[in-house]
Amino acid sequence: MEVSARRMRLLPGHGFQPTLHRQELGMRLGFEGLVGQHRVARLDQVEGGCDSASSERMFEYYSRLHSTTGRLFRLNYSIDLRYGVLHDIAVKVRNGEPLDVTMGHVNFIWQGDACAQALRCLKHCTTPTTPINVSGPEILSVRALAEELGARLGKRPVIVGKEADRSWLTNTALAVQLFGAPQISVSVLLDWVADWVAADRRSLNKPTKFDVRTGAY
């Protein structure tokens, strides 16, 4: 599988197996089997050299002009129990609604871990300001996430579509190097979200639309 990302540049020809991805990060996944068997292409470590939003260009320009220290915090997807990729998948599985897996892989991070890394970035600001990508380091199969949630909810996921050859992912190598792995593992998040959704607790009713591939949200 070839992987690309919004506001990121793909390095062609750097394919690797997910097992090597885990070894490269120097960590073990908290949950085995979610990465899948697809071959992926490594994303460029985008800090210092990628396409970006115009707002980032503005901050970079004035940071250079005035020698202002900063850090551009690129986050996707952060989740909590009321919102996020896992919540979206869990609700569809619980309700027996079709889950489109065309966007076949995702990565995400617990909101508390994202906030912790944001605060710790204050110690790692640069002049001029530079980007840092924040998310979970694992490449996670949407189909496998649905199956794991289904097992916890006692429901069989209704899967539609087929995994496309591209997914929107984030290279978090620098964040992992600076901060280590997130504290809350994928397996714990699966347990938490499944319990929350099974009890029909509060939802923010704001779908992430992680599965949208047209750019029209």
Q: What is the CATH number of the domain that holds 39?
A: 3.40.50.720
Give domain status of residue 2, yes or no: no
User: Domain range for residue 116?
Assistant: 10-198
**Residue 215 within a domain:** no
Would residue 212 count as lying in a domain? no
Average pLDDT over residues 15-30: 29
For the whole model, what pTM was predicted? Answer: 0.76
Q: Which helix (H) or strand (E) holds 159?
A: strand 158-160
- Is 19 within the bounds of a domain? yes
Residue 76's nearest CA partner among 176, 196, 210 is 210
Distance CA 202, CA 54 (A): 36
Q: What are 164-214's pLDDT values in tens digits?
A: 998 989 999 999 999 999 999 999 999 999 999 999 999 999 999 999 887
Quick check: is 62 in a domain?
yes
The whole-number pLDDT of residue 54 equals: 76
- Amino acid (one-letter) located at 28: R
Domain assignment present for 205:
no
When divided into structural domains, the chain yields a total of 1
Q: What is the pLDDT, as a whole number, of residue 29?
A: 32
In a domain, 83, yes or no: yes
Q: Is residue 204 assigned to a domain?
A: no
Burial of 66 (0-12, 13-18, 19+ CB in 10 A): exposed
The residue with greater pLDDT, 105 or 6, is: 105
